[in-house]
Chains A and B, each alone.
Chain A
Amino acid sequence: MRLQKTLLVLAPFSLLLIVKPWLPGWAVTPPKSCLAGCADIDGMIPFVDWVNAAITFLRKYEFFGAFTFRDITRGMSDVIKSMLDFTEGLLHEGFPDLGIGTIPWIALVGLAAIYGWYLRGWKLALLGGGCFFYLALFSKRGIWELSMQTLSAIAVSAPIAGLIGILVGILAAKRKTAERIIWPILNVLQSLPHFSYLIIVAIFFGVGSKAGVIATIIFAFPPMARLTMVGLQNIRPEVLEAGIMSGCTRRQMLFKVELPSARNELMLGVNQIIMQCLAMVVIASFIGQSGLGHDLLTRLQRLAIGQALEVGIAVVFIAIALDRFSQAIAHKEPIHAPEGPLWKRRPFLTAAAGFVAAVLVLSFVTPYIAKFPEHLTISTSTFWDGIVDSITLHFYAPLAVFRDAFLVYFLIPVKSAITWIPWIAVIALVASLGWRLGGWKLALTVCAFVFFIAASGYWIRAMITVYMVLVSLLICAAFGIPIGIWASRRDWSTRLMQNLCDTFQTFPSFIYLLPVVMLFQINDVSAIFAIIIYASIPIVRYTIFGLRNVPQEIIEAATTSGCTRNQVLWKVRMPMAFPEIILGLNQTLMFGLFMVMIAGFIGTVDLSQEIFRALTFNDGGKGLVIGLCVSFIGLTADRLLVAWSDRQKREYGLA
């Protein structure tokens, strides 16, 4: 019965595939589509021109005849600039005018260690101190300075993004109408590729570090807004009532009851903001953000893999440290302070103050306190180059064979199959799926998304993107789900995989290009491999989560019914975990989409190539429209998969 219904849903799509040879041309490829070299593309609806007209209008627009939009953007960049001056002064330039130097490297090492100890104990202390020590030790080719540039950009953008996120989140939580407007915008913003932000920001703010920081802020605030809103809406009604009954005014409610009660979500938001900022600061090097990302980019462009790896490892270290620290802050529960003198009540604060004082005194004794002794610094790039060379020497031939076979027998057939599908058939498919999974409203939404892509003129490119994502998704599922199943069987392997996922997920996506370029040089195969590595994380994670979170009682019931381990897995755990696995696929798809765009940097012919071209030519309209195409591919899949998962959960009575 169910199978028949599902087949029936696929009927319009299949029918259109069968009658394709007799379909008119406009029904197969959307009219006015870009086929190759899309310099000037109108599309059925000239979205690009509209956006560009809007941008031109905005740039010239005068508010109240007094100041222009450009004045506003200039004012904003000035504010950012002065904040950057301050953090850069602290971290790597010093304040020559005031005769004050930078914070000594050893102070950063020590403070990170003490703070880590305070938050979680010696392991985190080692990580924090070790991270800074690593940066100092391996800074033969300027890694320390680059890291400090990156960190100072994060130090400026993260708090601003956090503040904006909280404000937007509060607004959305408090006003129903605001929520209805803000929520979908957040959805689009969170699925827009990094580069669309860069292009728009470059148009209004130019290039350089301040533009990079602004792009980072815009990119990083949505998750905070979302978490703030969720946090505020999920406070237990009793706690709110307790606040009201204590006689709080609205303002007191917000600041004394609601925001503190949403602490967990807000802290999770802080973690997300910091990680998003790091990811974006690295990518913002495309519009001239200085720091590790910029170095990474130029080395990659020159194919200096060894040097790029060296920088990449520094990024990875910073990512892990930032993630673990912000997680630790988020999970730090308050504990009552013991009675006694200051050093007993606040031992870590005292230690930190004492340490800083000691450093200050010692800095008069030896210059090495302020700056790591140059002759002791090390560079690892020759080591990495050696490895890359030996890989090329020994594995080039087999890897090339594998690469070519993969390309010819798998990628190319799939690609031609997907680009062969008429666009109205795709519309029919998403419409009927949407209708089946969530009713006519969902069907209309996803149809609108797909129609936008068709009308924009980038249909073929978009389908190539879809092909890359789908292939990666298939491979991710084929590897990720079994890995998840394996890991979920034992406690130690679950913990191991969760740790691995946590760690890998913190790396800025850009980093994943390094190993694949090392192995496969630059082509479709390396792009797909980069996507696979990056996008496998969520499917593994969700599979484990779904399998482990089946209620213990149900497992016990199955076991006492005489199930073997395998029967418990296949007859109980897997069906119960299925909705979570769908969500994992959804996340994998979104991750894949993000990575596809980044992989465009190493050469693919899908939307990402177009977006890079738009970046080069500073074409805001194109950048935004292509970005929206990517976003809508993601949102179409997201809507359908989430609806499917919800439906499944409802059927099992889990939701």
Chain B
Amino acid sequence: MSKKTKIACDDIWKLYGSNPREFFERHKRNPDDEAIRSEKYIPAVRGATFDVYEGEILVIMGLSGSGKSTLVRCLSRLIEPTWGKVEFDGIDLLQASEKELIDIRRHKMGMVFQHFALLPHRTVIQNIAFPLEVQGIDKDTREKKAREIIEIVGLQGRDNYYPRELSGGQQQRVGIGRSLAVEPDIWFLDEPFSALDPLIRKEMQDEFIRLQSMLGKTIVFITHDFDEAIKLADRIAIMYEGMIVQLGTAEELISNPATDYVAEFTRDIPRAKLLSVRSIMDPPPPVPAADRLSVHADESVQKIARDVLAQELDANVVDDRDEIVGTLQRQRLLNALFEQ
């Protein structure tokens, strides 16, 4: 599987304090906890290095104050990083002039905000058409486009409402619509559903999945909610005190946590739903018993558990071509189900 890199981040740092750049250079571009603390700098992002692949949903996940919002703002240069390199489609973002940057934002980036950040004096359609308006696109064209988007985000009939007249979920639909108006290559979502009620949040997550299946954007999604991350992510980056402590699929994080912190995070997650049979299987016996139950290697543990446990025997694990690639022991299955 060839993955094309959309955004490449190399060693991004963001320090707050009196003279961060000088401080950073003085400590050989890698200041430690001790130095940061003693000189009263606040480390928001520390040495973040990662790639975002085209068409994937990368979720950056961490508790409040972990630096995830700052990191995403460094990617869009809403915040000027202290150090590092952000390459977007091969362009060095941090070297871009204000004019180039405006151009990139007008055509290639979209962003959704936690508290919607709608302009209160504009109607739904005017808010959604706003990014087109500032490009100087004429009214008819931009409103036609905005209407299409209103359709997509499910706000038909609300065109001329003001944000104040909408519910929170509807307001965020407008926020999403606005960020999609320019058909961006990369889509930043900063805790887009965190300000919503749980029921609405779930509805919006499903809506988001539906949208992404239509659009197939490259997405950087920020959240503090691990369940949300698992539900939406292709890959998850876990941040702690400004550092990315682990980056991988949900399954990798659960089955192989890099630090105690990640382990702590993933402890209460229903693993059976996420673990694949492959991750808990053993090598096949030299002579496989053909009469045993067969399960697919990429099936989730939860899905096959009932069938396997109904039998008295272990199960065969097969791949797409029905070849036996492993064996699933009942005891391993039980351990996985009861999280040991």
Whether the Cβ atoms of A247 and B115 lie closer than 8 Å is no
Q: How far is the CB of B159 from chain A (nearest CB, A)?
A: 8
Whether the Cβ atoms of A336 and B120 lie closer than 8 Å is no
Whether the Cβ atoms of B178 and A249 lie closer than 8 Å is no
What is the bound-complex CA distance between A130 and B110, given in angstroms? 53
Across the two chains, which residue of chain B brings its CB closest to A248?
A: B134
Whether the Cβ atoms of A236 and B103 lie closer than 8 Å is no
Interface size on B, residues (CB 8 A): 37
What is the bound-complex CA distance between A256 and B113, given in angstroms? 18
Within 8 A of A (CB), among B98-149: 102-103, 105-107, 109-111, 113-123, 130-131, 133-135
User: Is residue B19 within 8 Å, beta carbon to beta carbon, of the partner chain?
Assistant: no
Q: Which residues of A contact B115 (CB under 8 A)?
A: 236, 238
Whether the Cβ atoms of A238 and B113 lie closer than 8 Å is yes
Whether the Cβ atoms of B78 and A247 lie closer than 8 Å is no
What is the bound-complex CA distance between A249 and B105, given in angstroms? 11
Within 8 A of B (CB), among A232-280: 236, 238-239, 241-242, 244-249, 252, 256-257, 260-261, 263
Our pick among B102, B121, B188 for the contact of A263 (Cβ within 8 Å) is B121
Within 8 A of A (CB), among B153-180: 160-162, 164-165, 175, 178-179
Q: Which residues of A contact B201 (CB under 8 A)?
A: none
User: Is residue A334 within 8 Å, beta carbon to beta carbon, of the partner chain?
Assistant: yes
Q: Give the A-B contact count at a CB cut-off of 8 A.
A: 79
Whether the Cβ atoms of B161 and A245 lie closer than 8 Å is no
Our pick among A236, A249, A334 for the contact of B162 (Cβ within 8 Å) is A334
What is the bound-complex CA distance between A244 and B73, given in angstroms? 11
Q: Which residues of B contact A336 (CB under 8 A)?
A: 123, 160-162, 165
A249-B134 contact, Cβ under 8 Å, with A241-B73, A241-B78, A336-B162: yes
Q: How far is the CB of A235 from chain B (nearest CB, A)?
A: 10
Q: Which residues of B contact A238 (CB under 8 A)?
A: 113-117
Our pick among A236, A246, A249, A335 for the contact of B131 (Cβ within 8 Å) is A246
Q: How far is the CB of B144 from chain A (nearest CB, A)?
A: 18
Q: Which residues of B contact A244 (CB under 8 A)?
A: 78, 105
User: Is residue B76 within 8 Å, beta carbon to beta carbon, of the partner chain?
Assistant: yes
What is the bound-complex CA distance between A252 and B136, given in angstroms? 11
What is the bound-complex CA distance between A256 and B134, given in angstroms? 9
Our pick among B73, B78, B117, B133 for the contact of A239 (Cβ within 8 Å) is B117
Our pick among A245, A248, A256, A337 for the contact of B160 (Cβ within 8 Å) is A337
Binary interface encoding of chain A residues 526-541 relative to chain B, with 1 for a CB under 8 A from any of its CBs, else 0? 0000000000000000
Our pick among B135, B164, B175 for the contact of A333 (Cβ within 8 Å) is B164
What is the bound-complex CA distance between A226 and B179, given in angstroms? 34
Q: Which residues of A contact B164 (CB under 8 A)?
A: 333-334
Q: How far is the CB of A255 from chain B (nearest CB, A)?
A: 10
Q: Which residues of A contact B188 (CB under 8 A)?
A: 245
Whether the Cβ atoms of B76 and A245 lie closer than 8 Å is yes
Whether the Cβ atoms of B78 and A249 lie closer than 8 Å is no
Whether the Cβ atoms of A246 and B130 lie closer than 8 Å is yes
Binary interface encoding of chain B residues 175-216 relative to chain A, with 1 for a CB under 8 A from any of its CBs, else 0? 100110010000010000000000000000000000000000
Our pick among A246, A333, A335, A337 for the contact of B134 (Cβ within 8 Å) is A246
Interface size on A, residues (CB 8 A): 22
Q: Which residues of A contact B123 (CB under 8 A)?
A: 336
Our pick among B103, B116, B161 for the contact of A247 (Cβ within 8 Å) is B103
Whether the Cβ atoms of B165 and A335 lie closer than 8 Å is yes
Q: How far is the CB of B219 from chain A (nearest CB, A)?
A: 15
Q: Which residues of B contact A236 (CB under 8 A)?
A: 115, 117
Q: How far is the CB of A307 from chain B (nearest CB, A)?
A: 47
Across the two chains, which residue of chain B brings its CB closest to A336?
A: B160
Across the two chains, which residue of chain A brings its CB closest to B113?
A: A238
Q: Which residues of B contact A335 (CB under 8 A)?
A: 162, 165
Whether the Cβ atoms of A247 and B111 lie closer than 8 Å is no
Q: Which residues of B contact A239 (CB under 8 A)?
A: 117-119
A260-B121 contact, Cβ under 8 Å, with A246-B130, A246-B131, A249-B102: yes
Our pick among A245, A248, A263 for the contact of B109 (Cβ within 8 Å) is A245
Whether the Cβ atoms of A242 and B165 lie closer than 8 Å is no
What is the bound-complex CA distance between A127 and B110, given in angstroms? 49
Q: Which residues of B contact A248 (CB under 8 A)?
A: 102, 134
Q: How far is the CB of A457 from chain B (nearest CB, A)?
A: 46
What is the bound-complex CA distance between A333 and B165, given in angstroms? 10
Whether the Cβ atoms of B134 and A242 lie closer than 8 Å is no
Q: How far is the CB of B59 from chain A (nearest CB, A)?
A: 19
Whether the Cβ atoms of A247 and B106 lie closer than 8 Å is yes
Across the two chains, which residue of chain B brings its CB closest to A250?
A: B98
Q: Which residues of A contact B105 (CB under 8 A)?
A: 244-247
Whether the Cβ atoms of B102 and A245 lie closer than 8 Å is no
Q: Which residues of A contact B114 (CB under 8 A)?
A: 238
Q: How far is the CB of B35 from chain A (nearest CB, A)?
A: 29
Q: How far is the CB of B152 from chain A (nearest CB, A)?
A: 18
Q: How far is the CB of B278 from chain A (nearest CB, A)?
A: 40
Our pick among A242, A260, A333 for the contact of B113 (Cβ within 8 Å) is A242
What is the bound-complex CA distance between A263 and B119, given in angstroms? 11
Whether the Cβ atoms of A261 and B119 lie closer than 8 Å is yes
A263-B120 contact, Cβ under 8 Å, with A242-B113, A245-B105, A245-B109: yes
Whether the Cβ atoms of A242 and B117 lie closer than 8 Å is yes
Q: Which residues of A contact B119 (CB under 8 A)?
A: 239, 242, 256-257, 260-261
Q: Which residues of A contact B110 (CB under 8 A)?
A: 245
What is the bound-complex CA distance between A249 and B130, given in angstroms? 13
What is the bound-complex CA distance between A249 and B97, given in angstroms? 12
Across the two chains, which residue of chain B brings its CB closest to A238?
A: B117
8 contacts between A and B (CB under 8 A): A239-B117, A242-B175, A245-B110, A252-B134, A260-B119, A260-B120, A261-B119, A336-B160
Complex A-B, nearest 3 residue pairs according to Cβ-Cβ distance, in ascending order: A247-B106, A242-B117, A246-B131
Other A-B pairs beyond A247-B135, A335-B162, 14, CB < 8 Å:
A236-B115, A236-B117, A244-B105, A245-B78, A245-B109, A245-B110, A245-B188, A247-B103, A247-B107, A247-B134, A257-B119, A260-B122, A263-B120, A336-B160
